[in-house]
């Protein structure tokens, strides 16, 4: 075979392989049915954040979210896909427990009348499958309330008074209001 023919064949193969790789790189998987969302708590829009929550947002697929799509009395990732992560930029009171500024996983045990809310220090986990109770830093129980129906799981913040807020978990007609108190550092004047 002539050298020019071998070069033409090599260029053709190279072009086919390159086109195939480039073509496959442009094929995205279908969109996630439970996309991630971020919710911030700030004192005002101009202020830096105090709390940030990153969570997956499952959509209601059955008649009821809790007791059906999410079983009662079983550990739940508090969202979809990766475990929900909460970042506290300041020390906070979580129930009667002081929680230092940092990032934690938020898992829950939904019940009909109350939920157990758990902060855990084992990060970067998929759902609740790698949950380690030895890594828990705080647990509280919160009563369930009812409100208008939400088709998509949501987390938002509600300010109660100056340094007391609620992290509100809502889906279907269920609402769980987690009380948080932002620790303020008091500096004594000398």
CA–CA distances in Å: residue 22 to residues 10, 16, 26, 120, 124: 18, 10, 7, 42, 31
Predicted model pTM: 0.80
- The answer to whether 121 and 99 are in contact (CB under 8 A) is no
Residue 27 is predicted with a pLDDT of 63
Closest by CA to 125, choosing from 101, 105, 102, is 105
Structure tokens at 90: 């300041």
Using one digit for the tens of pLDDT, what is the confidence trace for 33-45?
Answer: 788 999 999 988 8
**Predicted confidence band of residue 140 (pLDDT cuts 50, 70, 90):** very high
Residue 18 is predicted with a pLDDT of 57
Which range, of 36-45, 84-93, 101-110, averages the lowest pLDDT? 36-45
- The answer to whether 155 and 167 are in contact (CB under 8 A) is yes
- Residue 18's contacts (CB-CB under 8 Å, 6 or more residues apart) are none
Average pLDDT across the chain, whole number:
87
Using one digit for the tens of pLDDT, what is the confidence trace for 169-182?
Answer: 999 999 999 999 99
Render 106-156 in DSSP notation, one character per residue: EEEE--SSEEEEEEE---S-BTTTT--GGGEEEEEEEEEEEEEEEEEEEEE
pLDDT at 126 over 90: no
**Predicted confidence band of residue 17 (pLDDT cuts 50, 70, 90):** low
């Amino acid at each position: 075979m002539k050298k020019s023919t071998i070069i033409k064949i090599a260029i053709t193969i190279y072009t086919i392989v390159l086109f195939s790789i480039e073509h496959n790189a442009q094929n995205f998987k279908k969109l996630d049915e439970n996309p991630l969302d971020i919710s911030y708590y700030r004192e005002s829009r101009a202020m830096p954040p105090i709390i940030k929550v990153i969570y997956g947002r499952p959509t209601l697929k059955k008649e009821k979210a809790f007791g059906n799509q999410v079983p009662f009395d079983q550990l739940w990732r508090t969202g979809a896909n990766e475990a929900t992560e909460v970042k506290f930029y300041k020390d906070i009171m979580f129930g009667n427990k002081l929680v230092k500024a940092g990032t934690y996983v938020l898992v829950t045990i939904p019940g009909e009348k109350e939920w157990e809310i758990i902060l855990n220090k084992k990060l970067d986990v998929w759902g609740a499958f790698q949950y380690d109770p030895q890594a828990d830093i705080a647990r509280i129980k919160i009563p369930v309330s009812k409100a208008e129906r939400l088709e998509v799981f949501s987390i938002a913040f509600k300010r109660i008074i100056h340094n007391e807020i609620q992290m509100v978990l809502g889906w279907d007609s269920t609402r769980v209001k987690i009380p948080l108190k932002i620790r303020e550092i008091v500096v004594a004047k000398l």
